[in-house]
C-alpha cells in the first residue's frame, strides 16, 4: 500500500551502509512510501554517504547534488560517514534539508515520517526479494592509517544474537533465499558467547534460508572455527579478505597486523579446506612511501593469492587520518600507472579463475533477466556472476544448477541443467 509519497535512495561505500539504507527503505515502504529511481522525481531523497577517501566524499557530495537536481522540492536527508565527519560541507549544499550523523541512522525513517506523514493508502508493487544484507556488528578500533572509519564509527558493538536471528527468520518468511552477514568488522562478532563462526552456524539452521554469504572479513579474523563453519553446504564458498598491500613495510605503515607471507598462507589454508572457494579482495595503490619495489611485491602477492575479483583503488588523502600526515605522498600520475598495471593483472586472474570453472556445475541464485540478451543473471556460490540460458518459465529467486560453458573477458556463460 502506498501513501502517495515517493522516496529515492543513493548509497555510497560499504555493505554496512547498504544495509542501513535498506533498513530505512523497508521502514518507509511499510509506512507507504513508494520507492523510485534516483533519477525520478521524489518527495524525499536519502543519501547515505561514505568518507573512506576524499574521492568517496566528493562522490557523496556529487550524488547529493544530482538527487537535488532530479527532485528540487524534495526533503533531502543526508546521513553516513561523510555527514559524521564533515557535516558543514553537506549542509552548505543548496537544497539539503537535514544532515544526520551515524548515531541518528536508526531514527531516519521516523524523522521522515514525522515530517511528511503517511496518507491514503494505494496499491504498490512489491519488491523482488532474493538476497538480503543483515548488519550484525558496527565500529572498528584498528585505526588503519588510511581509514577514517574508527573516527566515524567509534567503539565495537555486536547486535544481540536474538535480535539478529529474529530479523533473519522474518527475512526467510518474506521469501529471501540468501543472507549476507555484514559488519564493519564482521569477524569480531561477539554476543552472549556467540562468535562469528557460531553466528554462521546458527543462521545455517534457519529454514527457508538457502545460502549464507559473508561480507568483508579481515585476514586476522578468519579463524579455524570460521573455516570449519563454512563447510556447511548452505555457506557460500566465498571470502572477501582485504589485502590492501603485498609489501610488508607498507602493511606496517598502514597498521595492518599481518605480513604478505601470513596472508598467502591463510589463502592457501582456506583453499585447501574449502576447494573452489572464491577469494576476493581490496588493494590500495600508491599509499604514502610505496616504492616501485613495494608495488612489485603487491603484484606478486596478488598473483600468488589468485584472487577471483579485486577492488583496487588509488590512495587519496583522508584528512584526520595518520596517513594524511605522512611524507612520501605518491604523485597522481604514478598512482594511475600502477593502478592500470594492477587492474591488468587482476582482470587476468579473474578470467583464469572463471575459466577453471568451465565444464563444472555450480549453484546460481537467479536474480534477474538481462534486458539485452534475455539471459538470466545471478551469482554462483563462489561469487562469479553468470549469464544463464534457462528453460522458458524460469523464475527469479531460485537457486538452480548451472553448467559453466564459457568464460570470456566480457562475461561468464552457463546453461541450466
Ligand atoms: S580494519 Fe582498518 S580498514 Fe577496516 S574499518 Fe578498521 S580501520 Fe578501517
User: Cα of 156 to ligand 1 centre, how many Å?
Assistant: 12
Could you tell me if 310 and 346 are in contact, meaning their C-beta atoms sit under 8 angstroms apart?
Answer: yes
Phi and psi, residue 223, nearest 5°: -90, 165
255 Cβ inside 6 Å of ligand 1: no
**Pocket perturbation via mutation, ligand 1, pick of 13, 53, 56, 149 by most ligand atoms within 8 A of CB:** 149
Could you tell me if 355 and 347 are in contact, meaning their C-beta atoms sit under 8 angstroms apart?
Answer: no
257 Cβ inside 6 Å of ligand 1: no
Assign 3-class secondary structure to 292-317. Answer: HHHHHHHHHHHHHHCCCEEEEEECCC
Nearest partner of 75 among 119, 51, 101, 108, judged by Cα: 108
User: Cα of 145 to ligand 1 centre, how many Å?
Assistant: 9
What count of other Cβ atoms lies within 10 Å of the Cβ of residue 313? 16
How far apart are the C-alpha atoms of 376 and 395, rounded to whole Å?
9
Q: Which pLDDT belongs to residue 194?
A: 98
Q: What Rg, from alpha-carbon coordinates, does the chain have?
A: 22
Indicate the pairing of strand 412-416 with strand 385-389. parallel
Could you tell me if 385 and 377 are in contact, meaning their C-beta atoms sit under 8 angstroms apart?
Answer: yes
**Pocket perturbation via mutation, ligand 1, pick of 184, 186, 283, 322 by most ligand atoms within 8 A of CB:** 184
User: Cα of 143 to ligand 1 centre, how many Å?
Assistant: 6
184 Cβ inside 6 Å of ligand 1: yes
Instruction: Tell me the CA distances in angstroms from 100 to 42, 84, 155, 290, one per residue in order.
Output: 20, 7, 19, 36
How far apart are the C-alpha atoms of 150 and 148, rounded to whole Å?
6
How far apart are the C-alpha atoms of 137 and 157, rounded to whole Å?
6
Q: Which pLDDT belongs to residue 119?
A: 44
Please give the number of the atom of ligand 1 that sits closest to the Cα of 244.
Answer: 3
Phi and psi, residue 70, nearest 5°: -75, -30
User: Cα of 216 to ligand 1 centre, how many Å?
Assistant: 11
Local structure of 264: helix, strand or coil: helix
64 Cβ inside 6 Å of ligand 1: no
140 Cβ inside 6 Å of ligand 1: yes
User: Cα of 253 to ligand 1 centre, how many Å?
Assistant: 14
Provide the grid cell at 33.
512510501
How far apart are the C-alpha atoms of 157 and 174, rounded to whole Å?
27
Full set of structural domains in the chain with CATH: 6-116 (3.40.50.12160), 128-236 (3.30.750.210), 243-255+269-353 (3.30.750.200), 358-416 (2.40.50.140)
Please give the number of the atom of ligand 1 that sits closest to the Cα of 140.
Answer: 6
Please give the number of the atom of ligand 1 that sits closest to the Cα of 216.
Answer: 4
219 Cβ inside 6 Å of ligand 1: no
- Give the chain's residues under pLDDT 70: 1-3, 117-129
Nearest partner of 52 among 306, 301, 249, 242, judged by Cα: 242
Local structure of 261: helix, strand or coil: helix
147 Cβ inside 6 Å of ligand 1: yes
144 Cβ inside 6 Å of ligand 1: yes
143 Cβ inside 6 Å of ligand 1: yes
368 Cβ inside 6 Å of ligand 1: no
142 Cβ inside 6 Å of ligand 1: yes
Q: Which pLDDT belongs to residue 362?
A: 96
How far apart are the C-alpha atoms of 385 and 351, rounded to whole Å?
12
Render pLDDT for 319-349 as a digit per residue (tens, 0 to 9): 889 999 999 999 999 999 999 999 999 999 9
Amino acid at each position: 500500500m502506498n501513501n502517495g509519497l515517493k522516496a529515492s535512495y543513493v548509497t555510497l561505500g560499504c555493505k554496512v551502509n547498504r544495509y542501513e539504507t535498506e533498513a530505512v527503505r523497508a521502514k518507509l515502504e511499510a509506512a507507504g512510501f513508494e520507492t523510485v529511481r534516483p533519477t525520478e522525481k521524489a518527495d524525499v531523497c536519502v543519501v547515505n554517504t561514505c568518507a573512506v577517501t576524499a574521492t568517496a566524499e566528493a562522490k557523496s557530495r556529487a550524488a547529493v547534488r544530482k538527487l537535488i537536481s532530479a527532485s528540487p522540492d524534495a526533503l533531502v536527508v543526508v546521513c553516513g560517514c561523510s555527514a559524521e565527519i564533515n557535516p558543514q560541507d553537506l549542509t552548505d549544499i543548496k537544497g539539503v534539508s537535514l544532515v544526520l550523523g551515524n548515531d541518528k541512522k536508526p531514527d531516519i525513517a521516523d524523522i521522515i515520517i514525522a515530517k511528511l506523514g503517511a496518507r491514503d493508502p494505494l496499491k504498490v508493487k512489491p519488491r523482488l526479494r532474493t538476497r538480503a544484507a543483515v548488519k550484525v556488528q558496527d565500529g572498528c578500533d584498528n585505526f588503519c592509517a588510511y581509514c577514517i572509519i574508527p573516527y566515524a564509527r567509534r567503539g565495537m558493538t555486536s547486535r544481540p544474537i536474538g535480535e539478529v536471528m529474529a530479523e533473519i527468520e522474518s527475512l526467510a518468511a518474506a521469501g529471501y533465499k540468501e543472507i549476507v552477514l555484514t559488519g564493519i568488522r564482521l569477524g569480531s562478532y561477539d554476543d552472549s558467547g556467540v562468535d562469528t563462526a557460531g553466528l554462521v552456524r546458527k543462521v545455517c539452521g534457519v529454514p527457508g534460508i538457502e545460502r549464507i554469504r559473508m561480507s568483508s572479513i579481515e585476514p586476522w579474523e578468519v579463524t579455524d572455527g570460521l573455516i570449519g563453519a563454512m563447510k556447511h553446504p548452505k555457506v557460500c564458498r566465498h571470502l572477501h579478505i582485504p589485502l590492501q598491500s603485498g609489501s610488508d613495510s607498507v602493511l606496517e605503515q598502514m597498521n595492518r597486523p599481518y605480513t604478505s607471507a601470513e596472508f598467502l598462507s591463510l589463502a592457501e589454508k582456506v583453499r585447501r579446506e574449502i576447494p573452489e572457494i572464491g577469494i576476493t579482495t581490496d588493494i590500495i595503490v600508491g599509499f604514502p612511501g610505496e616504492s616501485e619495489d613495494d608495488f612489485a611485491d603487491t603484484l606478486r602477492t596478488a598473483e600468488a593469492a589468485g584472487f577471483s575479483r579485486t577492488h583496487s583503488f588509488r590512495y587519496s588523502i583522508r584528512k584526520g587520518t595518520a596517513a594524511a600526515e605522512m611524507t612520501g605522498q605518491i604523485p597522481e600520475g604514478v598512482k594511475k600507472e600502477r593502478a592500470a598495471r594492477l587492474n591488468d593483472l587482476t582482470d587476468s586472474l579473474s578470467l583464469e579463475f572463471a575459466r577453471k570453472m568451465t565444464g563444472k556445475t555450480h549453484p546460481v541464485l537467479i536474480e534477474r533477466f538481462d534486458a539485452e540478451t534475455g539471459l538470466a543473471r545471478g551469482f554462483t556460490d563462489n561469487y562469479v556472476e553468470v549469464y544463464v540460458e534457462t528453460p522458458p518459465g524460469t523464475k527469479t529467486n531460485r537457486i538452480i544448477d548451472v553448467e559453466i560453458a564459457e568464460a570470456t573477458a566480457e562475461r561468464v556463460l552457463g546453461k541450466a541443467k
